[in-house]
Chain A
């Protein structure tokens, strides 16, 4: 199975900060990488698919980049509603796998 790692596991940031989260795959997955946001007690929400495509309705401050094994989710200017946990997920294999998550909280 393809293993996914994320760094950092958590971070503290202030409103307006630029935030970058990294995801790494154990083998090349081309651009088969998705990003989700999850708030406590809620279902995950799709942010980015195919590594860099913004899901409809998601604010443009979210962006994704990367291909192969290394990927990045960037929030250009952190907003109060962005404090949440972020997960990457590969769909290169039909047997999907998620990263362990990155919790973004208030500094």
Chain B
């Protein structure tokens, strides 16, 4: 079964740090771009960051640049999000998601997030 399981969330004080993990199973993790997406309480979805298969390219939403770092360990089938200098506005459920590329054999490659974890909750509060 294709599965993503996030962990590492919790309560942290403003200015603190937290490291989220996402364990992948049921597919060849090293073949996929991966993303982190978050959702603040009662709000919509916000894409946070993504990383290429070999870790050579990483992209971030402006609001987390310089504070968050996405990384991966293909040998451990794991994705990470190191979050530093946390703010109240970082409070959210954080999802990891697999980026699929399709359609197979097509001339153009479209990316979409087809597998999602259940999320882990991060609360930044004093």
Contacts and interface: CB of A to CB of B under 8 A. Distances in A.
Nearest to A93: B59
Contacts of B62: 1
B118 interface: yes
Consensus secondary structure, chain A interface: loop
A100 B44 contact: yes
Interface stretch (B16-24, B84-92, B109-117): B109-117
Contacts, number: 70
Nearest to A98: B45
Contacts of B37: 44, 98
Interface residues on A, range: 20 to 34
A45 B116 contact: yes
B71 interface: no
A56 B16 CA distance: 41
Contacts of B112: 34, 46, 49-50, 55, 89, 91
Interface in B77-126: 95, 100, 102-103, 108, 110-114, 116-119
Given A1-B62, A94-B59, A87 B102 contact: no
B50 A96 contact: yes
A43 B95 contact: yes
Given A98-B37, A98-B47, 7 more contacts: A43-B119, A44-B45, A45-B116, A46-B114, A49-B110, A99-B44, A100-B44
Interface of A: 1, 30-32, 34, 36, 38, 42-46, 49-50, 53, 55, 85, 87, 89, 91, 94-101
30 contacts: A1-B62, A30-B108, A34-B113, A36-B45, A43-B95, A43-B118, A44-B45, A44-B116, A45-B116, A46-B113, A46-B114, A49-B100, A49-B102, A49-B110, A49-B114, A50-B103, A50-B110, A53-B102, A53-B103, A53-B110, A85-B44, A87-B44, A87-B45, A89-B45, A91-B111, A91-B112, A95-B60, A95-B61, A98-B37, A98-B45
